[in-house]
Structure 1
Amino acid sequence: MDYQALLNIIEKDLESFDHQGKVASYIPELAFVSPNKFGMHLHCINGKDYFIGDSEEKFSIQSISKVFTLTLAKKHKSKIWDRVDVEPSGNPFNSLIQLEKEKGVPRNPFINSGALVIADILISCLENPKEELLAFVRYLAQDHDIYYDEKVAASEKSKGYRNIALVNYMKSLGNINNDADDILDFYFHQCSLAMSCSQLSKAFMVFANEGKIIGTQERVLKTKSIKRINAIMQTCGFYDEAGEFSFRVGLPGKSGVGGGIVAIHPHQYAVAVWSPKLNAHGNSEKGMRALEELTSLTGLSIF
């Protein structure tokens, strides 16, 4: 498969793409990102790379980080599913109403309440949670040039009222063990991770390679755990638009309000795309179109 030729076609096709979306502004720091950025990077199982646009420019990965924290939690603690479910939400990622209906047990680990429970688990089982998460992401990407964007973390903290409400509500119902401020500080930092499409695609190869690091073949997680994380990405990775992404793209993946999307084709590749303008569901509008074109041009998805 000539992936570079396909990416070149996608780049040309999307030059005149009519953006209807808007850059996320409820996190003030994200509002300063240029809305016209676009990058795409595909990393193959054979170690080869193909890319277009701003694929080396770092951006705030936001909710894509929830896949990393879930993976790290599974690596350190096997029993987490009694505190968070694995069902699609069908509601916005920061819904308080759904959490109340379900008595403080989040619908899945990729909505905000679920990620806050995972953060609580990591704070309980790690000695230095922020440092160990950063080291883990660098290990997956085989790249030390990854860091927290402290400006973004501070910006999230300044306007994080809904997340404050979520964690305190769950604490009132007994599903949070640690101090709410510590959990929120960890959560805001994980979302502020700054990575490029290149780094993200390489880090996500662990999910395309049965839980092993590309190149070294070191095992991170058992194959059955990777299978389950991929399944949750397929059904829950795009908030209340997961069905649409499966229909249009047909790959497991995860989006973030920083405009990034990462998707994997097991045993084939991991691909990351970045375009900051979001649709009404909080997913990158141009990014979704780019990935839809990719699987249409290859004629291949997991289905």
Structure 2
Amino acid sequence: MNTTNQKLGMGLDSLFGMQKIGQTPTGNIEIDVSYIQVNAKQPRKTFDTEEIMNLAESIRENGILQPILVRKINDNEYEVIAGERRLRAAKLLNMQKIPAIVKNLSEDKAFVASIIENIQRSNLSLIEEAESFLRLQNEFSLTQNEIAKQLGKHRSHVANMLRISNLDGEIKDFIEKNNISYGIIKVIAGRDDVFKLLKLCHQKALTVRQLESFIKKLDNESNNNEKAKINHSQEDLLKLKSLQQEIMQKFDIKISFSQNQQNKSNEDICLSYKNIDTLIKFLENITK
């Protein structure tokens, strides 16, 4: 077992007061399948039909080796904390009862337990995991440090996951559909051009190192273009100032410039003149 799983195991111990997932627990009971409801807040959103069917076939041959974990809501009413795939497979086999361990857990601890169990089994997609972290922060007011400690993760990983969870829905759908790796997302999640870079990575099958090299080159070119733009703008401002003074002296008209409020990339020109004859003279001169 690697270090991460050991930490997750300790997290489960502290939550459940029981053996780590994967060990055979004692004191489990059998519960009528109809009494058990799925957890609406389950972090895992998608279940592969073929996987459930394969699991059902395994259960038919070997039985359920690891009881599901539930919490009691009311008399004859339970909610799944860990083991929804086993429950779905049992229903597929029309099983009447299923072995389960009942734990007295609050809603927030049950949710954390569900996340830990799914992470430990690598059942969550990248987006599902990221959104679970966001829910821990928003719904249960956990800090990044608290989430990291509870899940056995580095705080930097939690911070990256929260950035991913805040991406636009269209971007998250693209990540899910195309199975974009965590390494790629971590590099670009905070950028304004994240979607453009995601599409590029997918089209060209870029590695993380290739992506980092491309971004470095892209940013260098952008900085050089920005510097050129600043120098050019300063030169234009000097020319404009000279023309303003010339027009003022020749036509007695003051010209000023301001940013267009509807289109920030455009500017408005304001002419200040004493009378209509002055304006006509000026316009006739520039249209010759």
Larger helix share, 1 or 2:
2
- Larger RCO, structures 1/2 (Cα 8 Å, 6+ apart): 1
Please, what TM-score do these two structures have when normalized by structure 1?
Answer: 0.27
Considering only CA atoms, is the larger Rg found in Structure 1 or Structure 2?
Answer: 2
